[in-house]
Amino acid sequence: MSIRINDTAPDFTAETTQGTINFHDWIGDSYAVLFSHPKNFTPVCTTELGIMAGLAGEFKKRNAKIIGISVDPVESHDKWKADIKTATGQSVEYPLIGDKDLKVAKLYDMLPAGAGESSEGRTPADNATVRSVFVVGPDKKVKLTITYPMTTGRNFDEILRAIDSIQLTAKHKVATPANWKQGEDVIITAAVPDDEATEKFGEFERVLPYLRKTKQPKD
């Protein structure tokens, strides 16, 4: 069964480049971004992990931990880091899960049904769906899921944008419109009546009977 928004993120224990972790314990009181890639020592994945390394500070500002995963063993992850540094100029300091038995990948529905029982003998077709992102909140609930095809490198700036929106909604009763960015107007949710909206946000614009916009609340 696929993982849905607001499901409790499946917990697991796994070996990583930073030792053994229990996922829920590792998350602690933070947000977490669990992202998978098809295979070490491949071109698109190399660029992605380098980008994530370069954005590590941005995720930290948002109290969000990042952790990568593939079906390669931990030893392969450690060797690959040098190539990532050469190609992107970035050092991977976040943990990478070695999931050679496909335990976590299957738990998070990252693989085709016929992927087999281990990483040995895998083909490119087996890896085609393994480019997923899960954002998990401090409550251990899944806040966002995205899956990309094998040939499409992800836009991790979009993941940061989504986290900004998720965290804003968690603090205030607002939603964010299409293509919203930090500092732009937000939408007052239907759960907030007009009198409460005026009290909470001050002036607001009624675009449609069901669409009310206001300035982004300050923390």
Supply the CATH number for residue 197's domain: 3.30.1020.10
Question: Cα(66)–Cα(112) distance, rounded to whole angstroms?
Answer: 24
pLDDT-derived band at 111 (thresholds 50, 70, 90) equals: confident
| pLDDT tens track for 8-61 | 999 999 999 999 999 999 999 999 999 999 999 999 999 999 999 999 999 999
- Boundary-marking domain end, from 153, 180, 201: 153
Which neighbouring-strand residues pair with 132? 147
| pLDDT tens track for 130-176 | 789 999 999 999 999 999 988 899 999 999 999 999 999 999 999 99
Question: Cα(5)–Cα(3) distance, rounded to whole angstroms?
Answer: 7
Does 136 lie in the same domain as 54?
A: yes
Quick check: is 110 catalytic? no
Helix (H, G, I), strand (E, B) or coil at 127: helix
The closest alpha carbon to 99, from 91, 88, 108, belongs to: 108
CA dihedral 82, 87, 92, 97 (to 10 degrees): -80
For 68, the token pair is 């990568």
Does 208 lie in the same domain as 109?
A: no
Question: Which of 14, 34, 45, 102 is an active site residue?
Answer: 45
Does 187 lie in the same domain as 149?
A: no
Indicate whether 200 belongs to any domain.
yes
Indicate whether 219 belongs to any domain.
no
Indicate whether 127 belongs to any domain.
yes
CB 126 within 8 A of CB 116: yes
CA dihedral 115, 116, 121, 123 (to 10 degrees): -10
Whole-model pTM?
0.92
Indicate whether 2 belongs to any domain.
no
Does 96 lie in the same domain as 198?
A: no
What phi, psi does 26 have (nearest 5°)?
-65, -40
Indicate whether 8 belongs to any domain.
no
Q: What range defines the domain where residue 207 resides?
A: 172-214
Does 118 lie in the same domain as 32?
A: yes
Rounded alpha-carbon distances, angstroms, from residue 113 to 45, 109, 154: 22, 9, 23
